[in-house]
Amino acid sequence: MSTGSLTILVIDENRIRASIIEAGLRDAGHRQVTVIHDVAGIARRIAEIEPDVIVIDLENPNRDMLENMFQLSRAVKRPIAMFVDRSDQASIEAAVDAGVSAYVVDGLKKERIKPILDMAISRFNAFSRMARELEEARSELENRKVIDRAKGILMKSRGLSEEAAYTLLRKTAMNQNRKIAEIAQSLVTAAGLLGPLEGE
Partner 1 sequence: MSMAHEITAGFMPLFDSAVLVVAGEMGFATREGIELKLQRETSWANIRDRIAIGHFDVAHMLGPMPLACSLGLTPLASETIVPFSLGLGGNCITVSNAVWDGMAAQGAAPDLDPGRAGAALGALIRERARAGREPLRFAVVHPHSGHNYELRYWLAACGIDPDCDIEIVIVPPPFMADALAAGRIDGYCVGEPWNSAAVAAGTGHIVTVKALLWRNSPEKVIGARKVWAEENPEAMAALLRALHHSARWCQDPANRGELAVLMARPAFLGQPEAIQMPALTGRLQLGGGVERSVEDFFLPFDKAANFPWKSHALWFYTQMVRWGQLPHTPQNLAIARDCYRPDLYRSALKPLGVALPGANAKVEGALKVATPVGSAGASLVLGPDGFFDGQIFDPDRIDAYIAGQKRA
Q: Binding residues for partner 1, per CB under 8 A? A: 58-65, 67-69, 72, 81-82, 84, 89, 92-93, 96, 101
C-beta of 27: minimal distance to partner 1 in Å? 28
- Close Cβ partners of 92 (under 8 Å, ≥ 6 residues apart): 84, 85
Amino acid present at 140: E
| Complex with partner 1: residue 81 or 137, whichever CB lies closer | 81
| Complex with partner 1: residue 36 or 183, whichever CB lies closer | 36
Among 182, 140, 148, smallest CA distance to 166 is for 148
C-beta of 116: minimal distance to partner 1 in Å? 17
| Complex with partner 1: residue 61 or 107, whichever CB lies closer | 61
| Complex with partner 1: residue 62 or 157, whichever CB lies closer | 62
C-beta of 58: minimal distance to partner 1 in Å? 6
C-beta of 61: minimal distance to partner 1 in Å? 4
- Close Cβ partners of 103 (under 8 Å, ≥ 6 residues apart): 53, 54, 56, 66, 67, 70, 80, 81, 82, 83
Tell me how far apart the alpha carbons of residues 43 and 46 are, in angstroms, rounded to a whole number. Answer: 5
Among 72, 61, 70, smallest CA distance to 102 is for 70
Contact 54, 9 (CB under 8 A): yes
C-beta of 155: minimal distance to partner 1 in Å? 39
SS3 100: strand
C-beta of 65: minimal distance to partner 1 in Å? 4
| Complex with partner 1: residue 28 or 82, whichever CB lies closer | 82
| Complex with partner 1: residue 50 or 85, whichever CB lies closer | 85
Could you tell me where the beta strands, DSSP code E, fall in 15-152? 32-36, 53-57, 80-82, 100-105
